Structure 1
Amino acid sequence: MGFAENRGPYWRARYKIAPGKYGTVKDPTGATVRFLTRRAAEQAAQDEESRVRAGTWRDPSAGRISFGEYANQWFAEQDLAASSMQGYRYAIEVHLLPEFETSPLADIRRGDVNGWEKREKESYAVNSVTTWRKILHLILADAVEEGLIESNPAAKRRGRGKRAGRSSVRGPEKAIVSPLQGLLLAERAALLSGRDDEFVGCVTKQYTGARWGELVGLETEYVRPEAIRIEWQLYELDSGELLRCPPKDDSYRTVDAPAFLTGLIMDHIRRTRPEPCHCHGKRYVFRGLGTARTHRPGAKLIDVARRAGVSTGTVSNVLNRPERVAEATRQRVEAAASELGFIPNHALSPAAPHWRRNGFATWVFQPAVTGWYPKKAPQEARPVPLLGEPWPGVPVRGRNAAGRADACWVPIRPGLTPHGLRHGHKTDMDGLRTEKALKDERMGHTDSSISAHYSHVTNDMRQNLMQGLTRLWEEALEQRRELCSGSPVAVLDGLLRGLS
């Protein structure tokens, strides 16, 4: 039973915590409360002891641990996917510790959290700040469970403290493309990279809905005549390391693929003959761009071949064994090399083992979508300079590229991102009236509802979808051929000529 203890000029309240262990009533700062009367001390002691018996008692001094110390302990105890751990580390080190590191947990108030959030939104995207607040909420929620603080100051009461109406965190609708736009995008990406890898990669993403990491991490052994097996992904860490790990949310799955797509991928594998990469020892379907390609764009040997209308072997002979080439052909190749600003040493740069998200999105995907290169000091954003023939134009690189160009691209779909191709695949399946169970299976989504538990995928569903996707592809090819019967991209050129 709680009791009052006389300390001379004041009384202090004592209560039983456990057999042989007593506590003293303290204020939120951890200081002993000094009562003026015995009765007041006894009442406070009894109140605390009743909380002990009810299991709701918390040691006031426990909340004096600093946020920084607790956050470091909390992070060390987490065992999550590498992507989640990376996001948590960034949020804690860059955005939470600078504000709350030295503050005792018990001293953090709701107003402190709201004020920090408001200041962060002045400098960062709203969605990012919302994510960082959720991480702060998780940390403090665990502190509540451990008895360090009584309530979570990062918890939000729904609808309190903000105006009604359209949500301020609601972003614009995700941009998607039609089958023809996706085909034109893939063609441009191949022209920008100077090879067919990007064409095959963009088409694969558009017709399977694979996530970026799953596409980069697609190994040759998982490409089958009628399907693609999603078994691994390559996740790019902030350090630049590509981590081979299971797909997001363990969404292992077999994605049915139309015959045109598996044929395209298998032809690509036979043509490129992938070797095991030095970082994982695995053979991957898609290679990255060479290091020099990302930092010093320049025409490649295949660009010269396309411009001159000859094979890459003929260009190689002009460079190394000109006596084996007819004079007229040699002059045509040399003229094409001059127009494109071709540098032989750059053509010999080895391909990187894997795509990099930023390099691909910045220097291949976005220029293909918008027709503009991004701003990069000392250069401002600028249109992709083109030689207009053959259609849809061959990018000009090297010194005075803009001066030698005679055309540029119009935008295909402003706002489109690589992930937008995944959204587009889902939308295409909606348009083909694909059953929800099959859509969830292909996208790697999980539906835990009762109705989903009783839904199953049949062979007829799969066949109908494959027929629908094939029809979309064939219609896009026909529409592309109406624009021009050929293409500077070899693989697409073969497909177009096969329609004749």
Structure 2
Amino acid sequence: MGFAENRGDYWRGRYKTQPGKYGTVKDEYGKTIRFRTKRAAEKAAAVEEERALTASRTKPDPAPEHITFGDYASRWYEAQDLAASTMQNYRRHIEEHLLPQFEGAVVSEITKGEIDAWERSERDRGYAASSIKTWRGTLHLILADAVDEELRESNPATRRRGRGKRAGRSRSRGPEKVVASALSVLLIAERAALLSGRDDEFVAVVAKGYTGMRWGEIVGLETKYVRPTAVRVEQQLYELDSGEMHRCPPKDDSYRTIDTPEWLARLLRGQGARAGDRPCSCHGLRYLFSGHAAANGAVQRPGAKLVDVARVAGVSTGTVSNVLNRPGTVADSTRAAVEQAIADLGYIRYWPATENAPHWRRNGFATWLFQPAATGWYPKKAPQEARPVPLRADPWPGVPARGRGAAQRAEASWVPIARGLTPHGLRHSHKTMMDELRTPPKLQDERMGHEDGSVQARYSHITPEMRQELMVGLTGMWEESLAARRRMSPGSPVTVLDALLRAGS
């Protein structure tokens, strides 16, 4: 007898076509009919079962379809129409983790035991539990569609609740997310700017910590969306495996306007002035931030840069240029200091010009700027082991030594500020800041680009007073962090921070 099967938000009719095999009630176009009630599904299933039984008396049993997982996964992937980032992730999951195990397996014959064994093997290979969970989720999605297409009766990738070890849940528990205080955000931003040799990274890290913007939203922030009292999030740049910076809507269509305190608005306007009017070569648009490393294929310049010489000598880059090109216009003592810095750093003057990449690369920024700034260590990269960032101790907090023999010339290294902090951790940090300031959840969700579908959220609203109170609170945190930094040293080698410190002294 036909029966109804609950599929969450609808019912579908199921009926026996032959011993051990069942069909699904479909429309004239071959699509599964979604019934709103159990009773309607049962009635339709009973009718279809009667038809099937009548037809079985005159037709031979159909041969079962034996399609391999590899063929079905390829067909499944081609049928998807999702965001480029999602398609890239699905392809990576399928090609790197699912096909090596299941490519030749017949879809209808894959068992739960085989999937559990695959999961254990991935865990034994050292992959994180959260990653394995994601890959199994993709497998579950593929096999769920195979069930809908009647290639198999049930989904073996489904996790049954209440089975197995009670402690098994701990395997999926990741480490607690590291967050940064307002002072830590400031100190990490300063170090990132020292590592890159420019103010851009200082402004970007501070903006991320005080707005909660996602990484792609910061990278894809156009200058026209920086307003006098707010930042408008209209798109993001997502880095694809091909290296292309794909311009797409923000995650979950979280278009929003983020209020900015006056001091942060000034920093962003200053950064806009430094960015200039030149559009990027890949999109033809003006972005607030650009990459700090040479573009792919450009000649890399090792060793010290002009800005490093200026910092060590305690002069401007213009003064260094004058020493190199018009030495007679510079005082003897200043010229001697610059020449000594050139000798100490091994600065090479006439090096082939390089063109910076138009945008940061996620790995390059996190690995070679953010992580060393947060921990004081460069990561391991063959043939070199992990090592402290070598510094010239003066001026405080130390200027990174560059070029050959930098470690031998180093006078100091940085102490860790926040081990384990990532660029995304600054988004968590901003949420924590708002919690400390007792910001209403509705306003927090607006800034973070989250959506709360609860009844409480529907009846909650944001007032101008709430916004003003948050701006005052964030300004207080910023001023306290500046005061604490000023007590450490009244100045900074980072130009934009040095101006802020001396303005309050």
Q: TM-score range by the shorter chain?
A: 0.7 to 0.9
Partner of 2:67 in structure 1?
A: 65
CA distance in 2, matches of 1:271, 1:141: 52
Q: Is the 8 A contact 1:193 1:364 kept in 2?
A: yes
CA distance in 2, matches of 1:312, 1:68: 59
Partner of 1:134 in structure 2?
A: 137
| Aligned mate of 2:349, from 323, 332, 344 | 344
Residue by residue, what CA displacement relative to the aligned partner does 1:63-113 show, whole Å, maximum 9, x if unpaired? 511111111111111111111111100011111111111111111011111
* C-alpha distance 165-85 of structure 1, shift in aligned 2 (>3 A): closer
* C-alpha distance 208-25 of structure 1, shift in aligned 2 (>3 A): same
User: Secondary structure at the residue paired with 1:243?
Assistant: strand
Q: Is the 8 A contact 2:299 2:352 kept in 1?
A: no
Q: Which amino acid aligns with 1:306?
A: R
My pick for the range that moved more, 386-395 or 333-342, is 333-342
Q: Is the 8 A contact 1:392 1:487 kept in 2?
A: yes
Residue by residue, what CA displacement relative to the aligned partner does 1:183-223 show, whole Å, maximum 9, x if unpaired? 01000000000110100000000000000000000000000
Q: Does 1:254 align with 2:254?
A: no
Partner of 2:415 in structure 1?
A: 410
Q: Which amino acid aligns with 2:293?
A: G
1:64-103 to 2 correspondences below 5 Å: 64-103=66-105
Shift of 1:166: 5.5
My pick for the range that moved more, 238-247 or 272-281, is 272-281
Q: Which amino acid aligns with 2:330?
A: V
Q: Which amino acid aligns with 1:91?
A: H
Partner of 2:27 in structure 1?
A: none
Shift of 1:145: 1.1
Partner of 2:174 in structure 1?
A: 171
* C-alpha distance 247-60 of structure 1, shift in aligned 2 (>3 A): farther
Q: Which amino acid aligns with 2:243?
A: G
Q: Does 1:106 align with 2:111?
A: no
CA distance in 2, matches of 1:328, 1:462: 53
| Aligned mate of 1:181, from 176, 179, 184 | 184
CA distance in 2, matches of 1:75, 1:166: 31
CA distance in 2, matches of 1:62, 1:247: 45
Shift of 1:319: 2.2
Shift of 1:273: 1.3
Q: Does 1:325 align with 2:330?
A: yes
Partner of 1:33 in structure 2?
A: none
1:192-271 to 2 correspondences below 5 Å: 192-271=195-274
Partner of 1:436 in structure 2?
A: 441
* C-alpha distance 440-107 of structure 1, shift in aligned 2 (>3 A): same
Q: Which has the larger radius of gyration?
A: 1
| Aligned mate of 1:462, from 453, 467, 477 | 467
Q: Compute the RMSD of aligned alpha carbons.
A: 2.6
CA distance in 2, matches of 1:56, 1:488: 82
Q: Structure 1 vs Structure 2: percent identity of aligned residues?
A: 62
The answer for unaligned runs of 5 or more in structure 1 is 2-16, 29-48
Relative to the length of structure 2, the TM-score reads: 0.87
Q: Is the 8 A contact 2:301 2:354 kept in 1?
A: no
| Aligned mate of 1:281, from 279, 284, 287 | 284
Q: Is the 8 A contact 1:26 1:60 kept in 2?
A: no
User: Secondary structure at the residue paired with 1:255?
Assistant: strand
My pick for the range that moved more, 464-473 or 96-105, is 96-105
Residue by residue, what CA displacement relative to the aligned partner does 1:24-47 show, whole Å, maximum 9, x if unpaired? 76899xxxxxxxxxxxxxxxxxxx
* C-alpha distance 55-467 of structure 1, shift in aligned 2 (>3 A): farther
CA distance in 1, matches of 2:351, 2:370: 21
* C-alpha distance 62-472 of structure 1, shift in aligned 2 (>3 A): farther
Q: What count of residue pairs does the alignment treat as equivalent?
A: 461
* C-alpha distance 294-393 of structure 1, shift in aligned 2 (>3 A): farther
| Aligned mate of 1:53, from 49, 60, 63 | 49
* C-alpha distance 416-486 of structure 1, shift in aligned 2 (>3 A): same
Partner of 1:453 in structure 2?
A: 458
Relative to the length of structure 1, the TM-score reads: 0.87
CA distance in 1, matches of 2:400, 2:134: 40
Partner of 1:39 in structure 2?
A: none
CA distance in 1, matches of 2:52, 2:167: 37
User: Secondary structure at the residue paired with 2:232?
Assistant: strand
Q: Is the 8 A contact 1:286 1:354 kept in 2?
A: yes
My pick for the range that moved more, 336-345 or 373-382, is 336-345
CA distance in 1, matches of 2:323, 2:312: 14
Partner of 2:387 in structure 1?
A: 382
User: Secondary structure at the residue paired with 1:102?
Assistant: coil
1:483-498 to 2 correspondences below 5 Å: 483-498=488-503
Partner of 1:308 in structure 2?
A: 313
Partner of 1:393 in structure 2?
A: 398
Shift of 1:143: 0.8
Residue by residue, what CA displacement relative to the aligned partner does 1:216-266 show, whole Å, maximum 9, x if unpaired? 000000000000000010000011110010000000000000000010010
